Amino acid sequence: MEPSKPCQRAHYRLTLPVTYPVMFSDAATIGEGIVTNLSVFGCTIECTSAVPEKTNLLIRLILPDQKESLPIESAEVRWVNGKQVGLQFNKLERTANLRLLCFVWDRMLERLQSIKQQVSPKPYS
């Protein structure tokens, strides 16, 4: 049996099969992509546009909880690996931040309920 690895993350994140559309822009770039990893502090997106590290982007996340996109006023490109781009959210309006927190929290609770149902013993009939 392989030993389990300790969790490296300090906060919860939504990972694959997460696929939320995203639009981004800065003074020189306009692009689209798919969010494949989301937390309240940042995300990973897959995109076809080249975006240099340290670039600050305006982001619009398309989440399934509402029709309106979630605006992120400033997100810094922290790393680039091929088509994947890691973003750190730096500036969100209060309402957008609350929406993002609630969205991630709700998905975390759904995941915990799913795990609980898989692990809890079935009652005898």
Tens-digit pLDDT profile for residues 5-51: 444 545 555 665 778 999 999 988 899 999 999 999 999 999 988 88
CA-nearest of 117, 119, 89, 118 to 104 is 89
The answer to whether position 4 is within a domain reads no
% the chain with pLDDT above 70: 82
Domain coverage including residue 72: 20-118
Q: What is the dihedral of CA 88, 40, 94, 32, to 10 degrees?
A: 60
Q: How far apart are CA 43 and CA 16, in angstroms?
A: 12
Q: Mean pLDDT throughout 68-95?
A: 96
Q: Rounded to two decimals, what is the model's pTM?
A: 0.79
CATH of the domain at 105: 2.40.10.220
Q: State the Cα–Cα distance between residues 30 and 28, nearest whole angstrom.
A: 7
